[in-house]
Structure 1
Amino acid sequence: MALPARLPAAATSRAKPPRLRTGDRVALVAPAGFYADQLDFQLVTEAMVAMGLVPVPQPHWKDRFGYLAGTDKNRAADLNAAFADRSVNAVMALRGGWGSQRMLPYLNWATIRANPKLLVGFSDITALHLAIQARAGFPTIHGPTAGSSWSKYSYAAFRDLAFDGKLPLYRNPIAEQDRLVQRQGRTQTLRPGKASGKLLGGNLTVLTSLVGTPWLPDFSGAILFLEDTDEAPYRIDRMLTQIGQAGILRRVAGVVFGQCTNCKPSDGSTSLFTLDEVLAQHLTPLGVPVYTGAMFGHIDNQFSLPVGCRAEIDADAGTIRLLEAPVA
């Protein structure tokens, strides 16, 4: 696979994307895994219409190249076209999977930088969120992909940011289990205190894969937020060890670890480190506020987090307060 001879410049823009309004056109792209089911795609377009938006599928969304939605160059071409198209107001990824990182060298960073638009998605889309922070500098939204279930909770959180430019306080909603003591939706404080900084992060696996590449932003003073899915605790241990030894963890002002869905020992053993033990080993010694269990990641009801915007966390209360809107 031939790559461009020169890497893009790292200049960034302070401009913010415009907020979404009813009737806006939103490009649908598939930067990672393929999206083959026509009924699922129909549900996506119906969800966009229910939001008052006009879905604009990009040409290669139906392509398939192994487990990818077309070749790296074609997937990148769709994203480049979406940012270049002045009639398109935002860009939504259809799904995650794997592959966004592969196309980063083929993106037209000058065009993306000159046309700030909300990019929305999570999981593998972390590669795009972080690369945009490193190469363009405008906010994006770590939230549901276009193909997510879009619960009422998730949509309300997304609308607060993308349409209304609000500054919400995110706190896990109180569970309503038939128990004297609620278990669902709990947060755990690993190190107390408050901290503020730019929100940077996303999927831990994807972030780790970007270490040593030119696609990571500076994490100095940042609020690092992390999530993952289907990873055994020893793998989380390995990845936190890597980003720790790469110097990322010691630069941050605070950490929020969201949901790690189905992150259990692969052999079902109870004699190994638990996920909680792994997180405590790596995050507590940092000397900054840390809490876990926030509602973002591979779950139906999730916060929308504006990557690149300032926020304050309260590790005792288990909250994230946005201090800056992602839209103009």
Structure 2
Amino acid sequence: MNRRNVLKSIAVASLSTISGATLANSQHKPIHQMPERLKAGDTIRLIAPAGVIYEKVRIDIAMENMRALGLNPTLGAHVHDRFGYFAGTDEDRAQDIMDAFLDPNVKGIFALVGGWGSALTLPYLNFDQIRKNPKIIMGYSDVTALLNGISAKTGLITYHGPNATSRWNSFTTESAKSVLFDGNSPDYSTPQRTGDALTVHNNRIQTIEPGTTTGQLIGGNLTVFTSLVGTPYLSDMKGKLLFLEEIGESIYRVDRMLSTLKLAGILDQVSGVILGGFTRVDPDGDGFGNFALMDVFERYFKGNGKPTYYGALFGHIDEKHTIPIGQNASMNASKGSFQLK
């Protein structure tokens, strides 16, 4: 995600005026809790916590997606707003989030799109009220900041999965329904399809450091997740299962962000790493001497004793699993799969 000013913006947001409720909540030690499952006919709220939606037809598509899931979608008050490249001011986007949590008729909350800006809503959220009104909240990409921030502050399990405007193909839909509606503990494996080729090309499982491990799932978009380092909105990483994805970044920027996680001690604390889609992540320029993406991955993960594999189905790819942040899972890097516990 080409957001070169993310770290600077987060620092500014962290120094901005924070509500008294947020300050009061900062000492609370979260206990992970599962929100109530969705069922057919439930009313859900669509929010825009980050980027502005320029094409109104995308909101129509999102509403139709939710109805096709058997849900009754409603819109946050500010989803049509525009403040620069945000869907309204930070305070207004945060208000839509709070309104969704506090409305007793709303059973789930889905982000419309990512973009940039979810992190800027965090200082304006009342985490005590969110903790007392637990609900499913789901999205991905920039929504990584919101999901991890809420999880860190409240202990609520949040969901890294398709946005409401995503392409809900059969694989993506079945994964979401299995987790959000049925409460299943699916096996998160990647089908190794050859298609019309002699061997697997797309979504090929590549084991970087073999082995098995367990831990609470945490992660999302690499750029956004890295921007939370040093803020109050990132959970204790000890023993966690870290999952990461990215889009549209040069390989050297992926290298730089992984170095931040390494220098911050995070890569040493986690029990293992699951790498999903790294879409359009290419070398910066041509010629000899460039690292391939796998070279960077092996630099940080190979030989460190932390089971790691590449090729999981989440991120900016067509087929997406829905992953609960904060839930325990077991992972087998040798086979390239993980399973909820």
Distance 1:85 1:67 in 2: 27
1:244: Cα distance to partner?
A: 0.7
**Given that residues 19 and 123 in structure 2 are in contact (C-alpha distance below 8 angstroms), is that contact kept between their aligned partners in structure 1?**
no
Aligned to 2:337: 319
Written as runs of structure 1 = structure 2, the 5 A alignment for 1:1-328 is: 2-4=16-18, 6=20, 7=23, 8-11=25-28, 12-269=30-287, 271-323=289-341
Q: Does the aligned pair in 2 maintain the 1:10–1:136 contact within 8 Å?
A: no
CA RMSD of aligned residues (A): 1.3
2-structure distance, mates of 1:94, 1:317: 34
C-alpha displacement at 1:176, in angstroms? 3.6
Q: Give how far 1:10 is off.
A: 4.1
Relative to the length of structure 1, the TM-score reads 0.96
The alpha-carbon distance between structure 1 residues 82 and 270, as it changes in their structure 2 partners (threshold 3 A), is farther
SS at match of 1:104: helix
**SS of structure 2 residue aligned to 1:60:** coil
> Per-residue CA shift, 1:178-234, capped at 9, x if unaligned?
221221121111111100110001111001111111110011111100001001110
DSSP-derived class of the 1:286 partner: coil
Deviates more, 1:22-31 or 1:264-273: 264-273
1:128 offset after TM fit, Å?
1.1
Once the two structures are overlaid, the 10-residue window that deviates more, 168-177 or 153-162, is: 168-177
User: d(CA) in 1 for partners of 2:233 and 2:328?
Assistant: 20
**In the alignment, is the contact (CA less than 8 A) between 1:68 and 1:99 conserved in 2?**
yes
Alpha-carbon separation, structure 1, partners of 2:142 and 2:288: 30
Q: One-letter code of the match for 2:26?
A: A
The answer for unaligned runs of 5 or more in structure 2 is 1-12
Q: Give the conservation status (yes or no) of the 8 Å contact 1:142–1:202.
A: yes
Q: TM-score, normalising length from structure 2?
A: 0.92
Residues 39, 270 of structure 1: alpha-carbon distance in 2 compared, 3 angstrom cutoff: farther
Q: Is the 8 A contact 1:157 1:304 kept in 2?
A: yes
1:89 deviation in Å?
Answer: 0.3
Residue pair 2:252, 2:284 contacting (<8 A) in 1 also:
no
Separation in structure 1 between the aligned mates of residue 17 and residue 276 of structure 2, nearest angstrom: 35
Q: Secondary structure at the match of 1:236?
A: helix
How many Å apart are 1:175 and its aligned residue? 1.7
Other-structure match for 1:326: none
- SS state of the match for residue 47, structure 1? helix
Structure-2 change in CA distance of 1:69 and 1:240 (3 Å): same
SS at match of 1:238: helix
State the Cα distance separating 1:287 from its structure 2 match.
1.5
CA contact (8 A) 2:188 2:338 kept: yes
Compare 262-271 and 53-62 and name the one that shifted more: 262-271
Unaligned runs of 5+ in 1: 324-328
Task: Check conservation: 1:61, 1:69, Cα contact below 8 A.
Answer: yes
Q: Is the 8 A contact 1:96 1:122 kept in 2?
A: yes
Following the alignment from structure 1 to structure 2, what is the Cα–Cα distance between the partners of residues 13 and 54? Answer: 30
